[in-house]
Amino acid sequence: MPGVRRVRYIELPMTTLTTTEIRNFIGGRWVPPTSDGALELANPATGEPLGRTPAGSAAEVDAAVQSAHAAFPAWRAMPAADRVQFLFKLKALLEEHLDELAALITTENGKTLGESKGELRRGIENVEVACGIPVLMHGYSLEDVAPGIDEIMVRQPLGVCAVITPFNFPLMIPLWFLPYAIATGNTVVLKPSDRVPFSAGRLVELIHQTGLPAGVVNLVNGGRNAVDALLDHALVRAVSFVGSTPVAKHVYARGSASGKRVQCQGGAKNHVVVLPDADQETTTKIIADSAFGCAGQRCLAVSVTVTVGEAKDWFPESISSAASGLKVGNGLDPSTQMGPVITRASRERVHSLIGQGADQGARAIVDGRDFQAGGEGSFVGPTVLDGLPAASPLMETEIFGPVLSVVHAASVDEAMAMIDHSPYGNASSIFTSSGAAARKFRNLVSTGNVGINIGVPAPMAYFPFSGWKGSFFGVMHAQGRDAVEFFTDKKVIVERWPREWSRKF
Ligand code: NAD
């Protein structure tokens, strides 16, 4: 076994932020927030101050919801084929501004430029799928359900929809919902993460540039005050939320209690299972990317690798080499392979959880706490914890940092039992060259997303995306057809025209 390894660091203080103004967008106009600043923001790579996110207030939320409510009748009456023209324009603008948007995401979130571009690609994909709403929103009908009587199901928009998003994908996650919501004829109030308000602000500027009618998309900045005001507002019909499990539970319970339609994606603790017959080189590369990409702050990041049988003999060593070979630094440097975690508080939390792992019996083969970044960035080095006991509380804790635990099982069944035991069910993967083992795994494993020799099994925009168990609260998932289902109500019309069609009435 290797000793503790160290990771290279490149310091490159740079920023691309041109404004520190955080404004709300209500009724087609940018307005300064009226609530006090609540959260100091800093570039995670440099510590450079970026601004202060206002706390958000019920009055600001009410203004945004009223504006969305007022815009709804005309917007829902516009033909779907005309509504999606704004999304075609948005796609073109997002493509045109891809580099600028990626640099903005990296500046406020810390992930690498490549990762920022990747998240934008996945976001744009959702805009593309929502452009198909004139087909996706079809209902269905049947003639002569009784003599002369026809029955028709149509889908209609709900009204004002709230979209509440987390810090780790500042642009992709708003785009999981917003394009579908407006394409189906709803109006939206977006409440982005208070930790990354700039990318969402820029997104809304581009949406405004498409010429979208005033009030169809509104933006309110803030934290829990703004969220609770949205949950309690009588005119908000639906809430789409992504964030940590405790907040997801709160949003689901409070939103549902007032009769809203709610979908909440929560936290995760994802496992990958490595069988002895897996290809060693690609398995290591893919798992390293999953565990340490976005500094471990992806809801689909692998957090626990379960080696089965003899995979134990090679995996800890190979993943340690991969982890310690990563270039960690400012994501704006194109050669950086891993950026910082979101805040210094997050770094302290991750350090403390690594310490708990060590106290609970794991061995830090690569220890990110030793990582010396210099400067004020919130860096944690890639970390590999070997042999965490099954009973350790850390086995069930979402670390949300670049920390991979490696544990061992005698069989695939034992590995799947560990996954089954987890309170979360976002994703799991298996690495093997055995079709039979892979098929059994995908058939029985208790997670909403499954990878076969894939480290981050993120569904494309035309497939639904959600986890199971404590990773999701609701019924309809995000993206694609589920999004159309979530953002519309079904209405069934039973129709008779006596004189013309029916002899009996
Ligand atoms: P978070 O729960 O802290 O914040 C999410 C949103 O809720 C933000 O807009 C925030 O302002 C708001 N919020 C925070 N605390 C609140 C409170 N007490 N009451 C009401 N609103 C509150 O999440 P985060 O740290 O921004 O994001 C990381 C989390 O999101 C991780 O747990 C990650 O697994 C999860 N996530 C899940 C998915 C998924 O698809 N399942 C995707 C991305 C992120």
Please identify which residue in the block is written with the tokens 């990317």: 289
- Asked if 161 is an active-site residue, the reply is no
Q: What's the per-residue H, E or C state across 407-423?
A: EEECCHHHHHHHHHHCC
Give me the mean pLDDT over the 18-33 stretch.
Answer: 88
Q: How many CB atoms lie within 10 A of CB 66?
A: 17
* Percent of the chain at pLDDT exceeding 70: 95
Residue type, 302: V
Residue 236 has pLDDT above 60, yes or no: yes
* Percent of the chain at pLDDT exceeding 90: 91
470: tokens are 């404590």
Give me the mean pLDDT over the 171-196 stretch.
Answer: 98
Q: How far apart are the CA of 269 and the centre of ligand 1, in A?
A: 15
Q: How far apart are the CA of 137 and the centre of ligand 1, in A?
A: 30
Q: pLDDT tens digit string along 124-140?
A: 999 999 999 999 999 99
Q: pLDDT tens digit string along 457-494?
A: 999 999 999 999 999 999 999 999 999 999 999 999 99
190: tokens are 């977006």
Q: pLDDT tens digit string along 240-274?
A: 999 999 999 999 999 999 999 999 999 999 999 99
pTM over 0.85: yes
Residues flanking ligand 1, CB < 6 Å: 164-168, 191, 193-194, 223-224, 227, 242-244, 247, 250, 265-268, 299, 398, 400, 426, 467, 471
HSE-CB at 101 with a 13 A cutoff on CA atoms is 28
Q: pLDDT tens digit string along 112-124?
A: 999 999 999 999 9
d(C-alpha 286, C-alpha 299), whole Å: 16
Q: pLDDT tens digit string along 222-232?
A: 999 999 999 99
d(C-alpha 214, C-alpha 407), whole Å: 54
Q: How far apart are the CA of 217 and the centre of ligand 1, in A?
A: 21
Residue 20 has pLDDT above 80, yes or no: no
d(C-alpha 92, C-alpha 90), whole Å: 5
Give me the mean pLDDT over the 331-349 stretch.
Answer: 96
Residue 449 has pLDDT above 70, yes or no: yes
Q: Are 269 and 428 in contact (CB under 8 A)?
A: no
Q: Are 223 and 45 in contact (CB under 8 A)?
A: no
d(C-alpha 292, C-alpha 456), whole Å: 11
**pLDDT of the residue at 270:** 98
Please identify which residue in the block is written with the tokens 């940018």: 30
Question: What's the distance, CA 432 to chain centroid?
Answer: 28
